[in-house]
Structure 1
């Protein structure tokens, strides 16, 4: 859609704001964001897309030939998540959540899983250190990708986007000059009942679902290179509490889960912006340094967790629990319990 057509579809007052901001120097735009100017914050990704810094990152990984055949019909095909989609796993795929291969035994095979900076942890608000900054700046999260792939990898379900222009890939940073973290994918963790499922807990309380939006540090160029670097990864976590109402943001995913019920099946979804799943927040969140929550448990993650849970319905949770794992059985539990905090500090940001 041309800029002129987009402008005609907006109210006159917003058009004036849009073009005034588009002409503003980048430093002024940053100052407005820091001051919490709400029209800019709500539409930042769309307004300043052409002012975004050049994204010198690795080319977008293709989904492969199978994904091309999926496009447009929504049908699922059996695939190999690494070879056919170009999707790179966060770690070793030979692990599970059963007694014989579950979290309590991971450290026997993966030494790093017994480290002192492991994730998840319990977020104890009584001992967390409170700060009033930094403010997180989100860029391009409202821009729709060219295509969206939904993948059951046998352990969880993942959502990957593909953008035609690398400058449109979502990224964020902590103001004023924190490292930029580039979006890679979203995945989920859940349990067999509504009393469990989240990996992080808050004051000992678990939630039925936790969503992770995985990002890699821009200067490291790719997820693969960021895995082993200190703070090479940023995972943005969101907890979900049970509600009588469906979560409309999750609906495009939960309604398509039956298309990828079997392990190593994928389906193409109608494109939607990352912000439809990941709510933009900056005022209330937890942060700490930790690890991947799955083997090989690299301690390379800067965690940011939204303080306010979102909602999910029982019907939507049932769709997650009907997904099949690599053993052909329903994935009823794919979360790691909280790990010792040791000498680390949880910081809660309030504004």
Structure 2
């Protein structure tokens, strides 16, 4: 399926869903039926969240894409001495991150934990502003973990958990098609309350291919939007099934996670039956690429 066909189908769906939601606004019963139907459909077809990414990746599976991925590997160490500092004219804007989605699903795909949401198209969380040149809509969030084995590091300092949120700009206004927001976590003695809703439910998705619907919560309470103070560079996103070229946007503010919460990630199983003690990629050389710090 081509990218154009996917965008066409998505546009038709948005039009249809918008009409349904307009009717639902006038009837509480219709709104309840729509919410329940869509939530059930999303749970029964949890695979659909990855289908769009897989189709896009297949349509781009050519030598040109492979060459681009090879030129900008991730993850990297961010050496402060080599960072280019740039002052933003506009802050980042986070829209609809405070809204409750209709359904929130957590899945173990055998490589990582994937968080996806289902909501009305016109309420899909997105990022804009700064120097992005377009709106980047939330696709999914994944987690990478290991004792002192985070993917990205800053000044050679390793972390133990990294949350990576993939976003996509389907219009030509964006400077790039994919944007990935990264939050780093270091080991502390204090439980991270915003990760509690994720960590406490991992016991229900121990086996690869399993998933669970979470009690609804707004993405803003998990991702913690920020306006500035972040690093950017060109790299790659990898959820274990799909690998995509992306611009990384790494928050410089490091959060904490305690050992019990971290251990809950490490008991998940891979497709080969082994535990996912760590799922981070090896550090890659920066090469001729640049890292910017936006303040």
Q: TM-score, normalised by structure 1?
A: 0.66
1:336 paired with 2:281, answer: yes
Query: In the alignment, which residue of structure 2 is the partner of 1:35?
Result: none
1:311 paired with 2:256, answer: yes
Following superposition, the deviation at residue 218 of structure 1 comes to 3.5
Structure with more of its chain in strand, by fraction: 2
Query: In the alignment, which residue of structure 2 is the partner of 1:157?
Result: 113
Query: In the alignment, which residue of structure 2 is the partner of 1:143?
Result: 99
CA distance 1:268–1:296, change in 2 (3 Å)? closer
1:187 paired with 2:142, answer: yes
Q: Give 1:68's match in structure 2, choosing from 24, 35, 40.
A: 40
1:86 paired with 2:48, answer: yes
Kept in 1: contact 2:132–2:175 (CA 8 A): no
CA distance 1:259–1:124, change in 2 (3 Å)? same
Following superposition, the deviation at residue 292 of structure 1 comes to 2.1
Structure 1 Cα separation of the partners of residues 156 and 87 of structure 2: 24
Following superposition, the deviation at residue 70 of structure 1 comes to 9.7
1:119 aligns to what SS in structure 2?
A: coil
Kept in 2: contact 1:112–1:297 (CA 8 A): no
For each residue in 1:107-154, what CA deviation from the matched residue of structure 2 results, as whole angstroms up to 9, or x when unmatched? xxx955971211111111111000111521111111110110010001
Query: In the alignment, which residue of structure 2 is the partner of 1:345?
Result: 290
Following superposition, the deviation at residue 340 of structure 1 comes to 1.4
Structure 1: unaligned runs, 5 residues or longer: 1-55, 72-78, 93-109, 221-228
Structure 1 Cα separation of the partners of residues 189 and 84 of structure 2: 34
Query: In the alignment, which residue of structure 1 is the partner of 2:70?
Result: 115
Aligned-residue RMSD, C-alpha: 3.1
Query: In the alignment, which residue of structure 1 is the partner of 2:194?
Result: 249
Structure with more of its chain in helix, by fraction: 2
Larger Rg: 1
CA distance 1:217–1:312, change in 2 (3 Å)? same
Q: TM-score, normalised by structure 2?
A: 0.77
Could you tell which deviates more after superposition, 177-186 or 268-277? 177-186
Structure 2: unaligned runs, 5 residues or longer: 1-9, 18-36, 56-64
Query: In the alignment, which residue of structure 2 is the partner of 1:215?
Result: 167
For these two proteins, the number of residue pairs brought into alignment is 255
